[in-house]
Amino acid sequence: MKKRISMALAMATAATMATVSVPAMAADDVNITIFNSKMEVQSQFEEKAAEYSEETGVGVEVYYSSDTVAAHLATKYSANDPYTLAMVDAKDIYSLAKDHAIDLSDQDWVKETDYAIGIDDQINGFPTCVEARGLIYNADAIEAITGEKFNPEDYKTLDAFKELLETLKKGGMETPTGIMKEDWSLEAHFLTQVYEEQPDVEEFISELHEGKADLINNEKFNSLMDFFDVMMENNYAKDSAIAAERETTEMMLAEGQIAFMFGGNWDWSVLNAYDYSENMGMMPVPQNTDDGSNEKLVGGGSKFFMIDSSDATSDEQRQAAKDFLTWLADSEEGQSFIVNDCALIPAFSNNKLEVADPLGKSVKEYADAGQLIGNYNYMPDDSISVCGAICQKYLAGQIDRAEFASEIEDYWKNTAPVEH
């Protein structure tokens, strides 16, 4: 492979390359830094960066921080030491691009994706992957009790889902569900769906901030909380829900001790560490609704690369960063890195590689069918910690639904929505 790449590099020019392999060899003094905010692929990025450096002559260093993206990048900007390439969340593109990111609208890969984002009619964010959330199921565990093939479409409504849980309990699975207690799972992934399912999410967030929203009487809030209550009632850790460790919950799901857990396709990085069942997947949250929301996952483009626009980054470094993104999107090696090495769902239509893991396959099927409810990408930075703690109180049985709704409303009344 390396010999073929070397030959291609020697022969290709920017004007004649029909397909992208690896960018042409750069001057020895061109070095770029990459900030990776996706912990589960850090080792993969480090290894690939070393290979990329060897093949292109561009020095590439990859860094990770467990701090929030905005806080970590703020320290880098204040020190005038920005990353050449930074992997950020969508809301960071909207808040940082004006001052810190270049326009990528002229890049060829823009035509190959529906998930690139930016501000002021620009493209500032390169989508690393597609991610979605919903209800993760272990079909093998379900079928072992029911004796019938599990078809998620048969359980779109909460009523049908509850009947299935009763069947599982009668068949010997006393507690068929698990709930992750982490604040990011409860708030950023579950509670946020209450906003995302609203007929007009922007209007609803504005009403919450203005104190006009009546959450306890909101149809979507109650529909999703009805589902959450069913999950709580059947939770294997019902009596100590806040003490349940994520790894334990995911192990029980992987090995079929429980059948359902709310989460996202990123959970495969944990599930595959155990003696997992082959027949797993993701399905929409069961709800007694008739607007189609119980037939869709929630998701879209995730983790966006932006290139620094400051004087601290040279034009040569910016070009090297553009070359790296083109390599990720268009080259066989870059596409394989995303799908096979990182086990991510590609955000580009020209990447035809088959997604290997079962959760990723489910997400890709829903995405290809246009069955994704779009992410709301403008949550305030403190929403996970503050509202996540409120969610945890509800999970622990310390507050009821009305109190939960009231505390969420109080948060929004005292929080300025993210400008976008």
* Residue 40, pLDDT score: 83
Whether 5 shows a pLDDT value over 90: the answer reads: no
Convert the pLDDT of each residue in 321-340 to its tens digit. 999 999 999 999 999 999 99
Query: Which pairing describes strands 177-178 and 85-88: parallel, antiparallel, or unpaired?
Result: unpaired
Joined together, the tokens standing for residue 372 give 């994704």
What's the rounded Cα separation, in Å, for the pair 230 and 177?
9
Whether 19 shows a pLDDT value over 60: the answer reads: no
pLDDT (mean) for 170-186: 96
Alpha carbon of 81 to those of 3, 32, 78, 266, 369: distances in Å?
Answer: 36, 12, 8, 31, 43
Residue 192: name the closest of 395, 366, 410, 374 by CA. 374
pLDDT (mean) for 21-46: 80
Alpha carbon of 411 to those of 210, 350, 382, 406: distances in Å?
Answer: 11, 43, 10, 9
* Residue 269, pLDDT score: 83
Joined together, the tokens standing for residue 242 give 């806040």
* Residue 338, pLDDT score: 95
In the chain, where the domains are located: 2-131+300-361, 180-234+378-420
Residue 305: name the closest of 2, 20, 60 by CA. 60
Q: Where are the beta strands (DSSP E) in 71-125?
A: 85-88
The residue written with tokens 């996970």 in the block is: 384
Per-residue pLDDT band at 28 (split at 50, 70, 90):
low
What's the rounded Cα separation, in Å, for the pair 48 and 133?
28
Q: What is the mean pLDDT of the chain?
A: 92
Convert the pLDDT of each residue in 375-403 to its tens digit. 998 898 899 999 999 999 999 999 999 99
Please classify residue 156 by burial: count the beta carbons closer than 10 Å to its beta carbon, then call 0-12 exposed, 13-18 middle and 19+ buried: buried
Class of CATH domain 2-131+300-361: alpha beta
Whether 260 shows a pLDDT value over 50: the answer reads: yes
pLDDT (mean) for 197-211: 96
* Residue 23, pLDDT score: 54
**Terminal Cα distance for the chain, rounded:** 45
Per-residue pLDDT band at 282 (split at 50, 70, 90):
very high
How many helices (H) and strands (E) are present in the chain, helices listed first?
17, 9
pLDDT (mean) for 39-46: 92
Task: Show the CA angle centred on residue 265, arms to residues 259 and 269, nearest 5°.
Answer: 90
The C-alpha R_g of the chain, in whole angstroms, comes to: 23
What's the rounded Cα separation, in Å, for the pair 253 and 114?
33
* Residue 12, pLDDT score: 39
The pTM is what?
A: 0.84
pLDDT (mean) for 117-124: 96
* Residue 39, pLDDT score: 86
Whether 204 shows a pLDDT value over 80: the answer reads: yes
Whether 144 shows a pLDDT value over 50: the answer reads: yes
Whether 21 shows a pLDDT value over 50: the answer reads: no
312-325 burial, b at 16+ Cβ within 10 Å, e below that, comes to: ebeeebbbbbbbbb
Backbone dihedral region of 210: left (phi > 0), alpha (psi from -120 to 50 degrees) or beta?
alpha
Alpha carbon of 36 to those of 188, 276, 343: distances in Å?
Answer: 20, 28, 15
**Inter-residue contact 271 to 254 (CB < 8 Å):** yes
Alpha carbon of 145 to those of 110, 163, 230, 323: distances in Å?
Answer: 48, 13, 20, 52
What's the rounded Cα separation, in Å, for the pair 216 and 199?
17
